[in-house]
Chains A and B, each alone.
Chain A
Amino acid sequence: MRGALAPPRPRVAVETVPRCARLLRVPQSAPAAPAMPRPRDPEVAAVPAVLYSYCSLPRTLPARPKYRPPLDAAEPGKEPVRYSNLMYDPRVVRGNTYALEVVPVSTPPTPFEIQRQKEAWKRALARKRAKEQMRPKAPEPVEGREHVQVQTELYLEEISDRVIEVDVECQTDAFLDRPPSPFFVPAKTGKDVATQLAGELFDFDIEVKPILEVLIGKTVEQALLEVMEEEELAQLWAHQRAYAELRNAELAEVQRLEEQDRRYREEKERRRRQHMQMLKKQKETAEKIAAQAFAKHYLADLIPSVFNNLREGGFFYDPIERDIETEFLPWLMTEVEEELEGKVLARIMLDSLIRTVVENRLEAFSRQPPSDQPEAPAEEPQPPEEPQAAEEPQPTEEPHPPDEPKPRDAEPQMAGETDAADQPVTEKEETDQPVTEQQSSQRMSFQLELE
C-alpha cells in the first residue's frame, strides 16, 4: 500500500453571510467600528446610514514597498506615498470571475460570527469523524488473533511517509575554443625535377609592355576624356556667358528705349499741361474783360442816376439857400404874419370902431324912426358875432380879409350896414388894398344873393 492519500484540503470555512448581502446591509456594526479602528477603511466611520455603503471605500492603493522598513526606521508614514500601477499590482485578482476561490474577507469577526465559525468547525469535525467511522473497515480480529501489518513482497520495503531523496549534481567542463584546423598539406604527389638556365629569364621590354600599354593607354584615354569634358564645360560656360552678355546688351537697350520713351512722354505731358494752362488763362482773361465791359456798361448810368437821386433827395443843397429856406423864410413868414395880424387886428379894431360908430349913429338914428327897431335886435346879435368872426386868427400867406363869408350871417341888414360901413372903411383904410375892398364887396353881394 502506498502512502496515505494526501488528506483532502480542508474546505475553508466561508463566512455564512454572502458578500453582496454584506454590502447591502446597513452597517449595524458601524458603531463598533470606531471602537476598533480598521486601518484599511477609516472612511466607513464617517459614512452615514445610506442605502449603499462600502465595506471599504474604493481608493487607489499605494504601492507596497518591496522591502520591509528597517528596524530603526523613522516614523512610518512620513515617506511620500507611492502609487503603483494597478495592472502590475500583485494584489489585484486576475483571471475568471465565475470560478473564483474567494478569499474570505478577513474582517475581524464579530463574536457572533466567531461563535458561528466555531460551531461550523465543530460540525465539520463531527462530520469528518462520522465519515471515518462510516468507512468500511476490515472486520475485527477474531479472538486470540491480532491483525498485523505485513509486507508480502519478495523484498521488504521500508514504508515511510518520507520519500528518500538523493541530490545529485552534474557539471560540464568549461568550453574550450575550437582549435584551429591543422594546415592542410596535401599529400605530395609527383616527381621532383630540377633545371637550370644559362641567362636571364626576365626581359624587361616584354615584361614592361603590358604595364606600358596600360599606362600610356589609360593616360591618353583619360587625358582625352578629361580634355573633352573640360572642353565641353568651357564651351557651355562660354555659351552661357555670351548669351548673358547678349541679354545684358538687350536689356540695356530696352532700358535706354524705356528711358527715352519716358522722357518723351513726360515732355509731352508737360507741353500739354502748359498748353492747357495757357488756354485756361486765356479764357479767364477773356471772361475778365467781358465782365469788366459789362460792369462798366451796367454801371455807366449809375453815377448820374445816383447823383440824380441824391439831388432829388435833396442831398445837394446850397447851404445858403437852405439856410434861407429853413430859417429866414419862416422867420419872415412869422414876421409877416404878425404884421398881417397886426394889420388885421387893426382892421378889426377899425371895423369895430366903425361898427360902434355906425351903431351909435344907427341908434341915434333909430330912436327917431320906429321902423328901425327890428334892425336893432338884429344888430345886437351881430356885434357879438362880428367880433368873433374878426377875432379868429387866420394865418394865411396872402393878406386875405380875415372875416370870411359865413353863410350864417345872412342878414340883409348887414348889407345896409356894411354898405354904410364900407364907405367909411374905404375912406379910412387907404392902406388896404383895393382887392380886399372888392372882395369884401363881392362877398357882400354874394351874401345878398344868397338871401
Chain B
Amino acid sequence: MTEHKPTMPLPETMFCAEQIRIPPELPNILKEFTKAAIRTQPHDVLQWSAAYFSALSKGETLPVKERLEMPLTIEKTEAGLTLGLLKVLHKQLSPKGMVNVAELKEKWKHLCLPEEQLQAILQLDDFGEEVEWMKFLALGCSVLGKSLLSSMKHACEILTKDPEGGAARIPFEMFSFLYSYLASIDGDIPKEEVEVFLHKIKEEADKQSGMVLLRNFLSQASTLF
C-alpha cells in the first residue's frame, strides 16, 4: 500500500476523517466559481476556468457574464459573439481607451470565442496594433444586430449605466459617435440622412437632459413586451 500523503504538508499523519482540514475560504471560492461558470456557460470550461482564476489572482475584471444568457439558437460547436460576451469584453477592456490587438485576442480566446470572428471584425475597418475600443464595440454590435438601428440598440444596452430593463440611456455624444461611425462603415447611408437623424435625436435628447433613450430611435423599445 502506497503511502498517500495529502497535498498539504501535515505535521502528523492523519488517522481519521475528522482530521482532514478544509481551508475555510475554499467553499466560498468554489461557490463563486461555480456560479460564474453556470452564468457564463463557457464552451471550454478548462480554458475559461484558467482565465477566470488568473484574472482573479491578478485582480482584473473577471470574464463573467452578469446575467445568464439563454442560448437563442441551436448551439453550434462553437457559437459566436453574443451580447453578454460583448458586455464581458466591454467590462474588461473599456477602461483602457485603446486596446492592444494581442490583448484583445487573448481576452477573446478566454471567452472561448472563435478566432475567425475576431478576424472578420477586425477586417471591417483597418486597425493597426491598437484598436480603439469604442470602434470595436460598435463593430461587435453590428455583428450582433441585423440593422443599424438594432446595432445601436445593442450598443445602448451595453453602454448604459441604467439597470437592466429600464431605459438604456447613453449620452448623446457617445450615441452620435457610434452612429456616425457605423454609418461610415456601412457606407450605404448618405450623410444627409445621418445628419437629419442625429439632429432629430439631439432634439429629443435635449429634453431628456442630454441622454438618448431607446425609444427615441426605436419604434419598439423593448424585447420583453
Contacts and interface: CB of A to CB of B under 8 A. Distances in A.
A and B co-occur in one complex: yes
Interface in B9-61: 13-17, 20, 22, 26-27, 30-32, 34-35, 38-39
Given A208-B20, A223-B35, A245 B221 contact: yes
B95 interface: no
A299 interface: no
The list of the 7 closest CB pairs from A to B, nearest first, reads: A238-B165, A241-B165, A223-B34, A241-B166, A242-B165, A223-B35, A199-B1
B16 to A, nearest CB: 7
A33 to B, nearest CB: 99
A245 B31 contact: no
Contacts of B225: 242-243, 246
Interface in A191-237: 199-205, 207-208, 210-211, 215-216, 219-220, 222-224, 226-227, 231, 234, 237
A259 to B, nearest CB: 13
A251 to B, nearest CB: 12
A239 interface: yes
B163 interface: yes
Contacts of B1: 199-200, 203
B67 interface: yes
B13 A200 contact: yes
Given A200-B4, A202-B16, A244 B166 contact: yes
B184 interface: no
Given A199-B1, A208-B20, A215-B30, A245 B166 contact: yes
B160 to A, nearest CB: 11
Contacts of A326: none
A279 interface: no
Interface string B154-175: 0000000011111100000000
A249 interface: yes
A227 B167 contact: no
A205 B22 CA distance: 14
B102 interface: no
A215 B27 CA distance: 7
11 contacts: A200-B3, A204-B6, A210-B17, A220-B34, A223-B31, A223-B38, A226-B35, A234-B67, A238-B164, A238-B165, A243-B224
Contact of A245 (B15, B17, B27, B215): B215
B120 interface: no
A314 to B, nearest CB: 90
A227 B17 contact: no
B157 to A, nearest CB: 11
Contacts of A224: 34, 38
A245 B34 contact: no
Contacts of B185: none
A227 B35 contact: yes
Contacts of A222: 31
Nearest to B162: A241
Contacts of A285: none
B165 A245 contact: yes
Contacts of B30: 215-216, 219
B208 to A, nearest CB: 10
Given A207-B20, A227-B68, A234-B67, 5 more contacts: A227-B39, A238-B164, A241-B162, A243-B224, A245-B214
A84 interface: no
B153 to A, nearest CB: 13
A245 B4 contact: no
B222 interface: yes
A433 interface: no
Nearest to A203: B4
Given A219-B31, A248-B167, A239 B224 contact: yes
Interface string A77-114: 00000000000000000000000000000000000000
B215 to A, nearest CB: 5
Contacts of B224: 238-239, 242-243
A234 B3 CA distance: 50
Contacts of B27: 215, 219
Contact of A202 (B13, B26, B38, B215): B13
A232 to B, nearest CB: 10
Contacts of A234: 67, 164
A219 B36 CA distance: 12
Contacts of B3: 199-200
A240 interface: yes
A211 B17 contact: yes
Contacts of B167: 245, 248
Given A215-B22, A238-B164, A241-B166, A246 B13 contact: no
B20 A242 contact: no
A249 B222 CA distance: 11
A237 to B, nearest CB: 6
A216 B30 CA distance: 8
Contacts of B5: 204
A243 B1 CA distance: 67
B17 A207 contact: yes
Nearest to A211: B20
Nearest to A245: B167
B2 to A, nearest CB: 8
Given A202-B13, A219-B30, A219-B31, A227 B38 contact: yes
Contacts of A216: 30
Given A200-B3, A215-B30, A231 B215 contact: no
A215 to B, nearest CB: 7
B42 to A, nearest CB: 14
A245 B215 CA distance: 9
Contacts of A231: 67-68
A246 B4 contact: no
Nearest to A223: B34
Nearest to A205: B4
Given A237-B165, A246-B221, A248-B167, A211 B22 contact: yes
